[in-house]
Structure 1
């Protein structure tokens, strides 16, 4: 099989784009032999490669992997966006053994895998009593990290992997009773998620401002949660409530700038009463109103710390983030941080000037 990698210079060392004269040039990607699917501390993009018998032994010390030494080859490129670890991986024939260790992460983790080329077999249990699924081009699967699922490729393959903590606020429809859930190539969101992830890994991530990075992360979160909602199977009578909560969270993420957004407008959008909407979030960490307010605060804080918005007035920021007025913005920022917007902006701009 001919492997055509979609990323420009996908697995080579590279240096960051030229920075302004006042700032030193920083390395944004490094070749390393650390954990395959977790970004290296301090690196915008982590590029890793293993090849041959010695590298196989080294990687086996990090993850449970078996392969023929003479054909062993793995390349990964990973970046973190918010809570999401996004990885593009090219590998030869191999098997990742099911380990129930949350893919090496410290918390319970959910993994989305989308196949770009090749064929992957997922298996849990033995041949008689377990489950098995074969993923081909444009197929994908949602895998829980706390169940032993074996990943096997008999031929070379290219995949996109996106990991996120299972307790992420937007992911309320997990397949708790199944170790993995498979989606076929007809599942449009799988292809959209893979394409978006690959596009992110093409970017010079280091140059993204905080506000742009937050917008990118919001888009990734919306795609991921939408794909989870499409793939996840019903898990008891609460499934409809969980699916509706996920939809509300996604809607808030894309409409927070609307000053009219709140329980009343959200209920109308969903075709339910305001009381029914509020009941969806009973027992959750935040109510609908609190979710809207938290999203707006996050967005205004990102802009206050972004040098591109240094000349943007508080009235303009209030419009951009849905507060409606500078007074409402000031009150929300001070309630959340204990500091004024002007103080937060000045501190951030001083930090940028120092660098």
Structure 2
């Protein structure tokens, strides 16, 4: 087993290995624990080439569970792992995340954490292992999160096609073709990772913006007694599920936001001297509660008081001693 990062990624000629049965499982144990209910039927055909900054491996393998421990992960010293599934079905687990892959899927795994790959069928996949720190040249850091499926962008599809051709005839690492192919592959993979990070940032920003938009709509229309998640979704032209997700992202629910806004409006009216002669029923209807009983339940739930008690205890200064929910 390689003992250092330099030894692991020292340029080596492409090699082809056929591993089968219990002997094959033992031969591969230096880098992974292989678990199968039928060890005698195990088959794995591996073609690998090692370049100064990365290794490329094509694997054709029968159904199996592959576990890479923290100890092995630390010894191999890989920074980032890309896994392209060419055929079959595979489940990848790492860092609390699970990704179910099918033909054409691309995932990224951290080279710093243990992981598990479980194939439900025979698989044909290509793995690219980038040594630690070797994506920095192209503006990407080593990936340290849990396993993550990457979007099938134009760049990802182009990289997939490049790898398919590349692994059919792996170039010698120390030739001009090998060197330029290694650089091109590293640049494309860094680009995929950067695109995915930017997409996630943009998506997160959009989620926040949409959550604010939902809240603004609720605050503006809270006096409408018919206001509901469905009416908000229809007005904003999004799905009901999206409205619920947006509210959850702000650690709130539709009911809580509506109640908070209506309570604020009710408190403002109860404090307003020009509304001193207005009945509580009218205030309840005006603020969207609809009925006095609903407004009373809201006051009791949030302030452990009633609208009547609140109004009776308003001091001459208008400071009621009960803070607004906002």
- Shorter-chain-normalised TM-score: which range? 0.5 to 0.7
Counterpart of 1:182 in structure 2 is 149
Change (3 A) 1:60 1:80: closer
In structure 2, what is the Cα distance between the partners aligned to 1:214 and 1:176?
23
What does the per-residue CA deviation read over 1:132-154, in whole Å, with 9 as the maximum and x for residues that have no partner? 11011111111001112211101
TM-score by length of 1: 0.48
Change (3 A) 1:211 1:152: same
Counterpart of 1:288 in structure 2 is none
- State which structure, 1 or 2, has the greater radius of gyration over its C-alpha atoms: 2
Change (3 A) 1:209 1:166: closer
Change (3 A) 1:144 1:167: same
What does the per-residue CA deviation read over 1:237-275, in whole Å, with 9 as the maximum and x for residues that have no partner? xxxxxxxxxxxxxxxxxxxxxxxxxxxxxxxxxxxxxxx
User: What SS class does the counterpart of residue 97 from structure 1 fall into?
Assistant: strand
Residue number among 39, 54, 76 corresponding to 2:23 in the alignment: 54
Structure 2 gap segments, 5+ residues each = 202-326
Change (3 A) 1:174 1:71: farther
Q: Is the 8 A contact 1:114 1:190 kept in 2?
A: no
Change (3 A) 1:106 1:34: closer
Counterpart of 2:57 in structure 1 is 87
Q: Is the 8 A contact 2:107 2:149 kept in 1?
A: yes
Give 1:235 shift: 9.5
Change (3 A) 1:76 1:39: farther
What does the per-residue CA deviation read over 1:138-188, in whole Å, with 9 as the maximum and x for residues that have no partner? 11111001112211101101111101113113354347552222124x333
Q: Mean alpha-carbon deviation: is it higher for 116-125 or for 155-164? A: 116-125
What does the per-residue CA deviation read over 1:84-110, in whole Å, with 9 as the maximum and x for residues that have no partner? 201111001111114135657642421
Change (3 A) 1:232 1:177: same
User: 1:249-328 maps to which residues of 2 (within 5 A)?
Assistant: none
What does the per-residue CA deviation read over 1:200-219, in whole Å, with 9 as the maximum and x for residues that have no partner? 2333634x874333322221
In structure 2, what is the Cα distance between the partners aligned to 1:172 and 1:102?
27
Q: Is the 8 A contact 2:86 2:126 kept in 1?
A: yes
Counterpart of 1:199 in structure 2 is 165
Q: Is the 8 A contact 1:115 1:136 kept in 2?
A: yes
Q: Confirm or deny that 1:214 pairs with 2:183.
A: no
Give 1:198 shift: 2.9
Q: Confirm or deny that 1:156 pairs with 2:156.
A: no
Name the Cα RMSD after superposition: 3.5
Q: Is the 8 A contact 1:86 1:160 kept in 2?
A: yes
In structure 2, what is the Cα distance between the partners aligned to 1:191 and 1:233?
18
Change (3 A) 1:123 1:104: same
User: What SS class does the counterpart of residue 104 from structure 2 fall into?
Assistant: coil
In structure 2, what is the Cα distance between the partners aligned to 1:83 and 1:100?
22
Residue number among 199, 223, 243 corresponding to 2:188 in the alignment: 223
Give 1:43 shift: 4.4
Structure 1 gap segments, 5+ residues each = 1-32, 237-355
In structure 2, what is the Cα distance between the partners aligned to 1:91 and 1:74?
4
Give 1:222 shift: 1.7
Q: Confirm or deny that 1:170 pairs with 2:137.
A: yes
In structure 2, what is the Cα distance between the partners aligned to 1:155 and 1:165?
29
Q: Is the 8 A contact 2:73 2:113 kept in 1?
A: no
Q: Mean alpha-carbon deviation: is it higher for 39-48 or for 80-89? A: 39-48
User: What SS class does the counterpart of residue 70 from structure 2 fall into?
Assistant: coil
Give 1:56 shift: 1.6
User: What SS class does the counterpart of residue 184 from structure 2 fall into?
Assistant: helix
In structure 2, what is the Cα distance between the partners aligned to 1:56 and 1:180?
25
Counterpart of 2:46 in structure 1 is 76
In structure 2, what is the Cα distance between the partners aligned to 1:82 and 1:97?
26
Change (3 A) 1:144 1:234: farther
In structure 1, what is the Cα distance between the partners aligned to 2:178 and 2:142?
29
Q: Is the 8 A contact 1:34 1:48 kept in 2?
A: no
Counterpart of 2:82 in structure 1 is 112
Change (3 A) 1:34 1:159: farther
In structure 2, what is the Cα distance between the partners aligned to 1:119 and 1:108?
24
In structure 1, what is the Cα distance between the partners aligned to 2:191 and 2:113?
23
